Amino acid sequence: MGLKKILFALVVSLNISYTFSQNSTNNSDFWNNVRFGGGIGLGFTNNSFNGSISPSAIYQFNDQLAVGTSLNFNYAKFNYDKFLAYGGSVLSLFNPIPQL
């Protein structure tokens, strides 16, 4: 699967989820407790390139516990070799001491 197809699928899925969240008639606070984030990375050296993107969504249950998921995409090119890596992860955040 090409990098363009993966990036297109990511953009489409994020747009669909955003559209559904805006049209929801449910008055729950679900979307008020969801936080979106992630990371982007770029690397350049002689005859090589590395780029990565990892969007994530985290649901905050209370002041101490949050759980979410993340997708990971990485593209690397070294001389004439090209590598593509992708995956996902499950996140859990626990903060027993709010002052920290």
Q: Name 35's Cβ contacts closer than 8 Å, sequence gap at least 6.
A: 57, 58, 59, 60, 66, 68
Whole-number Cα distances in Å, 87 to 19, 42, 46, 77, 92: 25, 18, 27, 18, 17
Residue given tokens 């936080």 in the structure block: 35
Q: Output the pTM of the full model.
A: 0.62
pLDDT in tens, 41-100: 999 988 899 999 999 999 999 989 999 999 999 999 998 899 999 999 999 999 988 777
CA atoms of 52 and 38, how far apart (whole Å): 11
Q: Where are the beta strands (DSSP E) in 1-100?
A: 34-45, 48-60, 65-78, 81-94
Q: Where are the domains of the chain?
A: 34-100
Provide the pLDDT for residue 48. Answer: 92
pLDDT in tens, 69-78: 999 999 999 9
